[in-house]
Amino acid sequence: MTIGYLLAIPVVSAFCCLASGTKAFVRFFFVAGAVLLAAAGEYFVFTRAGQGNLFAFGGNLFMDPLGALFAALIVALGLLSAVYAGGYLFEEGPSAIPLRKLRRYGFFFHLFLFTMLLTVFANNLGIMWISIEGTTLASAFLVNIDDKKSSVEAAWKYLILCSVGIALALFGIILVYYSAALGVSGGGNYLLNWTFLAGRAKELNPQVMRLAFVFILVGYGTKAGLAPFHSWLPDAHSQAPSPVSALLSGVLLSCATLGILRFHILTKAATESPFSGHLLIFFGVLSVAVAVPFILDQKDYKRLFAYSSVEHMGLVAAGLGFGGAWGLYGALLHVVNHAFGKSLLFFCSGHLLHQFGTKEIGKIRGILKVNPLLGGAFFAGIMAITGMPPFNIFVSKFFILCGGFAGGHFFACGILLFLLVFIFAGFLRHACNMVFGIPEKTVRAERNRVMDGVLLAGVFFLVLLGVWVPGPLHRLILGAVSVAGGTTG
């Protein structure tokens, strides 16, 4: 099992889905591909994690603990999402989805997983850029898979805004390449390789790196959903189907954050100043602040979750900016926890749409009475996402704030705590309105074992990670923290 084989799995699954003749085949390739990817990916990551960096394709791709952590996350969430989607996509009956659309869905889904894996495994900064652009292109179709008017608009906004942002990131990469070509001796073909640059970071021109980091932050920050570049996020995440939204919110934003992190490491080493850290903290706090009014006054529950993603990505950015052992560990753990928490919420939203037929918060009442499992999972998810113990996000938020206080950023942490209170209040209000109370109309009561199973698995993970970080995961995150902290390998 090498990086190449791992990357080949989703590509093969994608084309198999596209070439399938019947719905059964599409379903098989769709789900089996995700299962195989998850199994192979987790095996690969956890057996090779402690053994140093692993290179492939002439050093253009590699896996270090940081990349391994994100890869593990991608394949796990890909599995959950595929299993959940497989539960309802392939139903026959009046609302059956045509074969053409299913083939497209399978194709772009696996292609999307492929591009995300390529991003986290990329060593060559140019390849990383190409694959991030690739994620935009692959997921645009997924956002618009239902061909409705609003989703076309959302997909167009997503395409244009993210492409502009990524073009700005290319500007930053050109500047990094320039400073590398200027200052670093030797290299030749390796000038764009992250491992090479990280080792020689002291030789990079600090002023150019500063400028480059600003552009990268703006560019990849657009993709990561940092304010004020987040305006595509609520539209795209709310218009996409729920399993896709789970992937978009949980994993794609994290991949973009990985891109920012890689450059943050370079810039911190090159400039030896807290410049990039301060910028990250600023945009992080700004994201949380921008998310607050939209969470408090929100009518559509999927947009609510999307704005919550903006907030959480802001927290991750702030954690990365705070730095230090606490901040970095908290931020990386938060990436994992947020992925699971947000995807649980989006899976619940899929159930909600299916049962109540509406996207509005105001029209849904009494979920607990209608479907106790859904109500319980939904309420647990909301409690988790706002950072209540004993759920996992509490732990990572706590670590991030510890990192902030340990680093002396009292003002920023104070603002964050203040804002988090408002977010908690807003979410609680929406959750109580939706979960408790008397349901208004009788709703369809079909139950799907598989989809319910996914919900239960999600809640289980939330609680598990809230009380205990499993050994292998902990070691992986520690390895990633050491990479992020500047000591490679």
Partner 1 sequence: MSSEWIPSLVHFFGMMLLVASFGIIAAPQIMASVRAYAVHSFLLAVITVLVALAGHVEHLLISAALTVVLKTVVIPRVFSKMIHRLGVRREVESYANVPFLLLISVLLLFVSFYVTSGLRGLEPVFSKEFVSIAIFTVFFGMLVMISVKKAMTQVLGLLLIENGLFLLGITMTFGMPLLVELGISFDVLVAVFIMGIFMLKIRGAFEGIDIDDLTELKG
Q: Are 88 and 454 in contact (CB under 8 A)?
A: no
Contact stretch for partner 1 (CB under 8 A) within 30-38, 68-76, 291-299, 334-342: 291-299
H/E stretch holding 54: strand 54-56
The yes or no reply on residue 249 touching partner 1 (CB under 8 A) is no
CA atoms within 13 A on the CB side of 446: 8
In Å, how far are 112, 213, 443 from 108, measured between CA atoms? Answer: 6, 31, 32
Q: Cα Rg for the chain, rounded, in angstroms?
A: 21
Q: Are 411 and 280 in contact (CB under 8 A)?
A: no
What's 98's DSSP letter?
Answer: P
For partner 1 (CB under 8 A), the number of binding residues is: 52
- Least distance in Å: CB of 361 to partner 1? 12
User: Based on CB atoms, which residue is closest to partner 1, 39 or 181?
Assistant: 181
The yes or no reply on residue 118 touching partner 1 (CB under 8 A) is no
- Least distance in Å: CB of 54 to partner 1? 20
CA atoms within 13 A on the CB side of 110: 31
The yes or no reply on residue 39 touching partner 1 (CB under 8 A) is no
The yes or no reply on residue 178 touching partner 1 (CB under 8 A) is yes
246, 195, 245, 219: which is closest to 66 by C-alpha?
A: 195
The yes or no reply on residue 107 touching partner 1 (CB under 8 A) is no
**Whole-angstrom Cα distance, residue 373 to residue 393?**
21
Q: Are 150 and 281 in contact (CB under 8 A)?
A: no
Find the binding residues for partner 1 in span 58-97 (CB under 8 A). 60
The yes or no reply on residue 182 touching partner 1 (CB under 8 A) is yes
- Least distance in Å: CB of 164 to partner 1? 7
Among residues 35, 54, 130, 464, the one that binds partner 1 under rule CB under 8 A: 130
Find the binding residues for partner 1 in span 293-322 (CB under 8 A). 294, 297-300, 303
- Least distance in Å: CB of 10 to partner 1? 17
The yes or no reply on residue 100 touching partner 1 (CB under 8 A) is no
- Least distance in Å: CB of 157 to partner 1? 7
CA atoms within 13 A on the CB side of 331: 30
Binding mask 221-240 for partner 1 (x = CB under 8 A): -------------xx--xx-
User: Based on CB atoms, which residue is closest to partner 1, 211 or 388?
Assistant: 211
- φ, ψ of residue 58 to 5 degrees: the values are 70, 30
User: Based on CB atoms, which residue is closest to partner 1, 220 or 391?
Assistant: 220
The yes or no reply on residue 101 touching partner 1 (CB under 8 A) is no
Contacts of 31 (CB under 8 A, 6+ apart): 82, 83, 86
* DSSP letter string, 425-470: HHHHHHHHHHHSS--SS-------HHHHHHHHHHHHHHHHHHH---
- Least distance in Å: CB of 186 to partner 1? 15
The yes or no reply on residue 191 touching partner 1 (CB under 8 A) is yes
Find the binding residues for partner 1 in span 140-169 (CB under 8 A). 140-141, 144, 147-150, 152-157, 159-160, 163-164, 167
Q: Which residues pair with 62 in a beta bridge?
A: 55
> Site residues (CB under 8 A) for partner 1?
60, 124, 126-127, 129-130, 133-134, 137, 140-141, 144, 147-150, 152-157, 159-160, 163-164, 167, 170-171, 174-175, 177-178, 181-182, 189, 191-192, 205, 207-208, 211, 234-235, 238-239, 294, 297-300, 303
